[in-house]
Amino acid sequence: MPGSVLNASRPKRKRNLAANQAKLLVWPLIVVAAAVIADQTTKLLAVTYLTDQVSVKVLGNFLMFTLVYNAGGAMGTRIGPSLYYLIMALVVLPFIGYYIFRNRHVKAVSIPMAFIAGGAIGNLIDRIRLGQVIDFIDVDFFHISIGSFELDRWWTFNVADSCITCSIAFLIVYMFVKHRGIEPRDRLPRNIDQPSGLAG
């Protein structure tokens, strides 16, 4: 009889475990949706208000809105035609989804990966719909001069690019900190001199 009760409770425990695991994906999915919506909304506004305008100054020459249609990749790269970047996004997105699912219990990984996925989807929509990506954020960070390479003004980008770039930078820092063995204080033992279970 006790064995029967135990066996009967196993499916319920499995269902509860599956439900808890599914809950861990809620925030990453919300982040993906939010990134796509923000990206597509701002691009729609850019096309609506910036078409036929050279540039709109927001913070002087430092920050301007300039409508640009980019058939290449981020940071002015042009490895191949727009179709190449479209295919690459379709290939990479399933891997990003896999890493989000695998690291769903680690928000420091799943959330940035969700922003990357949302950004990739946002630019992918442009490539499917227009054959190129809409860029409009025009920022003058600093002048770069390396040998024969000259960059007087930063490449024009969009919200999707920001999601991808900032998330990659965060993940690099996070992986570096994790590799160095730096753990949050709440994960450290309360008393390293006192063995666990022997507190009086």
Chunked into runs of 10 residues, the chain (200 residues) has average pLDDT values of: 55 65 90 98 96 90 93 73 89 96 94 97 96 94 68 87 95 88 52 48
Angle at 37 between CA 121 and CA 175, to 5 degrees: 55
- Which residue from 64, 58, 86 is spatially nearest to 157, judged by alpha carbons? 64
pLDDT at 2: 57
Looking at residue 199, its pLDDT comes to 47
- Please tell me what DSSP assigns to residue 187: G
pLDDT score at 23: 86
How far is C-alpha 165 from the geometric centre of its chain's CA atoms? Answer: 8
pLDDT for 149 equals: 62
Indicate the Cα dihedral angle 141, 37, 130, 76, nearest 10°: 20
Domain ranges of the chain: 25-183
Residue 22's Cβ-count burial label (10 Å; 0-12, 13-18, 19+) is exposed
Q: What's the rounded Cα separation, in Å, for the pair 137 and 54?
A: 13
Choosing from 152, 161, 186, 193, the catalytic residue is 161
Closest CA to 38 of 97, 125, 127: 125
Written as six digits, the tokens of 7 are 């066996």
Instruction: Look up 161 and say whether it is catalytic.
Output: yes
Question: What pLDDT is attached to residue 186?
Answer: 45
Question: How close are the terminal C-alpha atoms of the chain, in Å?
Answer: 40
Which position among 126, 135, 152, 193 bears the catalytic label?
Answer: 135
Bridge partners (DSSP) listed for residue 92: none
